[in-house]
Chains A and B, each alone.
Chain A
Amino acid sequence: MSESRWLATGNFFTSYKTEQRIFLTHIDRLVFICFLAVLFAWPLIIEVGNKYMLVIDSILIAIIAVYGLNLLTGFAGLISIGHAAFVGVGAYTLATFARTLGGDHILLTHYWPLMIIVAGLVGAVIGGIVGLPSLRLKHLYLVIATLSFQMIFQWFINFSKFYDQGQTIAIGRVFWFTGKVGRRDHYFFWYYVILVIVVILGFAVRNLLRSKHGRCLVAVRDNDRAADAMGMHPGFTKVYAFALAGFFAGVAGALHAYLWRGVGFESFLLHHSISYLAMAIVGGLGTLVGALVGPAAILILELQVESLAEFVGHYFTAVGDVATAFRPLSFGLVIVLFLMFEPRGIANWWRMVRSYFKLWPFRY
């Protein structure tokens, strides 16, 4: 590491500890603090309609879910296409309380931070159980196992009378120190709650990756036999990777339930799982930045495609089927293009931009 903590044009680390620092330079830290300040301050300055606040809140929730998927698929190398079901487990944990105690029960409305943690823990337990086949299965076979979980989840909810066969189960409005969070402040309030959780969990992921448990994930991904030979426990590592992914997904599910004020089956279907995977791929698998930008990219793309499909459907009624096909078509195309031309995702663009400024005014 260079002498100056403000500027560093190269990686000159003198100890392992310096390499593992969260912020390599003071400028990194400053940029991060400024960015965070902007994220916290902009809703106070710019007035945004509820529609767009809902979209922004949904992006933040997706970021939390993709943190988990990124740990599982990006860092541990275990592909899952059942992630929406894990998110659903978190949401349906709240729905279970709502069905048993009532949607306006004090546990749900006053102790909502506790409920979010409980949902995360239930997600972790279910994630660990679903992860058990990973002890025996790899690659495509593991994909099928996670797909099975997705199908079982869908089937279970769809035919369960307790969960009203997937119809929306209402969750009451929560309380804050100032009283009940009303409709006017709803999206605003949850923006801050979710943002705080995104930051906390982001640091948690970053710190996990600096610890031996995080390095175990990467080692098992790269070569589980070599990891085993070096004293790691590949089986345990894989199961806890699933449990971690389940925890993040569970938290995301609980937040989803609170934000949408209800839990409905159709938010946790297979195509949502594929969306989460697309977010991770487009953002950049195995990077924290990827988990942050991937959901934003995919959800904004979805909004644009929706508008385009509506436009086509409205003016060219005879080609309604084309309009219907826009979403899957554009979705598939984006994933394929990223896999072909930028497999490291948008995070790699961020890395290049950072490198440029790090070396500036030199090109190399």
Chain B
Amino acid sequence: MKHKQFTIMLVALSFLLLLGFSSQVMAGETYKMGLSIDMTGATSDVGTPYSKGVEDYVKYVNDEKLLGDDKLVCFIRDDGYKTEVTKRNFEDFLDEDIVFYLNYSTGSTMALRQDFQEEQIPVLPASFHAGNLEGNDYIFLPIASYSSQAVGLAEYVAANHKGSGKPKVALFLHPSAFGRAPRDDVKKSIDAGLAIDLVEIVEHGKDLDNTAMLKRFQSKGVQYVISQTVQPPVATMLKGAQSLGMIAKTYGEAGKITFLGCHYGGGPALVALAGSAANENYYWTTSYKMMTAKGPGRDAQFALAERYGRDENVAKDANYTNGIMVVQVAVETIRRAKAKGKKITRAALYEEMVAMNGFNAFNSLTTVGPVSFSKADREGVDTLQLYVSKGGLFYEIGAPFASEYVQKIK
């Protein structure tokens, strides 16, 4: 009896050992990435859907085995929009041996750029500040910069202004490096011949009422306001303008103000916040495909959100798209490096990033143009799409475009 029990135990043990070894043989590599993002701070309304986009797409990559037997891990940490916490998170990720890093804010990207350079790690930030590219080689902007966006909107204003003389424009900016990013480039573009009259530059505070500012705009004859900030302050401004009857019903309506916004200052989340004030005639530009437009990108995004139990607000948020897109790029670089038989290291991924151009440009379903990087050009999607809100949904206006003056002032 004892002998029989011993035999059974031996067989069971052998089976378990065999299973253990075989699963080790089958298991592939694990590639680690890190994301430090604001989920509880001043811009958490942007950071939260962004982080969910990252989280869901990483799950999707693993579930669908897009990297074969290899596994992708992304550490996601909240930094509360504080650079000190971002730095701590980054150090933590480095201790975990990450090969790719996703950063968030403009301030922290600027503050950590020398660390990125020393660590030689490819970085995709959520900040599209053109200044991120200066003084380092490893930061890549996923889409067209804030400068391209703001100057592009200003170009549209200049080209489509109906009244006589130069259109009078005000800039409404976030009081940080993020908000100020395109300010000087708009000024430089005006010096280079862009036909707009920049009447005022406002750095907003935490005001819940913008009546005084809007009345001042009116007294100065401002016809267009271009926002480079996050959605809540834009929503506050739009609600104020609505109650004062200042919002133009058609583009450039005389005596009223037409509101326009860069990537983070618009989108479905703005409509959710501002309600009827943003339902009609709000102009918005981004390099991402709009979720109200029909197409494979939209369908895939909704399917992804549904698969991982996200609600409709997250599913159609442009920053959910944003989060998906940066992981898509990271996965694509890993996939390409693997296909060439390279060991997945920071250096290998960097090589693949800077080779992502020409015929090798990456066509993501989430953007209006291909993602292309090189050593000389680390701005991913070069084109922008203009959208306008109608009935609470955003619709494309014209074809994707690239800012002409940003090229001139470079």
Contact = CB atoms under 8 A, between A and B. Distances in A.
Contacts of B95: 49-51
Given A165-B177, A183-B119, A323-B40, A51 B92 contact: yes
**Most A-side CB within 10 Å, residue of B39, B89, B175:** B39
B39 A266 contact: no
B305 to A, nearest CB: 13
A4 to B, nearest CB: 48
Contacts of A99: none
B339 to A, nearest CB: 32
A312 to B, nearest CB: 8
A313 B40 contact: yes
A168 B40 contact: no
B39 A320 contact: yes
Contact of B111 (A49, A262, A314, A323): A262
Contacts of B110: 167-168
Contacts of A338: none
Given A50-B94, A183-B118, A313-B40, A168 B78 contact: no
A158 B203 CA distance: 11
A310 B89 CA distance: 13
A54 B87 contact: yes
A50 B118 contact: no
Interface string B53-72: 00000000000000000000
B83 A266 contact: yes
Nearest to A322: B40
Interface in B136-171: none
A232 B85 CA distance: 46
Nearest to A172: B114
Contacts of B85: 306
Interface in A28-69: 49-51, 54-55, 58
Interface residues of B, number: 29
B204 interface: no
Nearest to A265: B107
A167 B89 CA distance: 20
B40 A317 contact: no
B119 A314 contact: no
Nearest to A325: B40
A320 B43 CA distance: 12
B91 interface: yes
B84 interface: yes
Contact of A306 (B80, B107, B114): B80
A359 to B, nearest CB: 43
A97 interface: no
A1 B111 CA distance: 56
A141 B89 CA distance: 40
Nearest to B118: A183
A309 interface: yes
Given A51-B88, A313-B40, A314-B39, A168 B94 contact: no
B78 A306 contact: yes
A165 B78 CA distance: 25
Given A49-B95, A310-B40, A313-B78, A55 B107 contact: no
B82 interface: yes
Contacts of A327: 80
B256 interface: no
Nearest to B119: A183
B374 interface: no
A267 B83 CA distance: 8
B40 A167 contact: no
A92 to B, nearest CB: 15
Contacts of A264: 83, 107, 111
A261 interface: yes
Interface string A138-173: 000000000000000000001000000111101000
B20 interface: no
Given A264-B83, A309-B78, A313-B78, A51 B44 contact: no
B298 interface: no
Interface string B321-356: 000000000000000000000000000000000000
Interface string A261-277: 11010110000000000
A261 B41 CA distance: 24
B287 to A, nearest CB: 25
A310 B39 contact: yes
Contact of A320 (B40, B89, B177): B40
B220 to A, nearest CB: 22
A167 B177 contact: yes
B180 interface: yes
A355 interface: no
Nearest to B111: A168
Contacts of A266: 82-84, 107
Contacts of A314: 39, 78
A51 B77 contact: no
A140 B91 CA distance: 41
B311 to A, nearest CB: 9
Interface in A311-345: 313-314, 317, 320, 323-324, 326-327
Interface in A211-270: 260-262, 264, 266-267
Contacts of B115: 183, 261
Given A310-B78, A313-B78, A317-B48, A49 B114 contact: no
B39 A260 contact: no
Contacts of A168: 83, 107, 110-111
Interface of A: 49-51, 54-55, 58, 158, 165-168, 170, 183, 260-262, 264, 266-267, 306, 309-310, 313-314, 317, 320, 323-324, 326-327
26 contacts: A49-B91, A50-B91, A50-B92, A50-B94, A51-B89, A51-B92, A54-B88, A55-B88, A158-B175, A168-B83, A170-B114, A183-B119, A260-B84, A261-B115, A262-B114, A264-B107, A266-B82, A266-B84, A267-B83, A309-B40, A313-B39, A320-B48, A323-B39, A324-B44, A324-B80, A326-B40
Given A50-B95, A260-B84, A324-B41, 12 more contacts: A49-B91, A51-B91, A54-B88, A167-B110, A168-B83, A261-B114, A261-B115, A306-B78, A306-B80, A309-B78, A323-B40, A327-B80
Interface of B: 39-41, 44, 48, 77-78, 80, 82-85, 87-89, 91-92, 94-95, 107, 110-111, 114-115, 118-119, 175, 177, 180
Closest 9 CB pairs of A and B: A168-B111, A49-B95, A51-B92, A50-B91, A310-B78, A51-B91, A324-B40, A323-B40, A313-B39
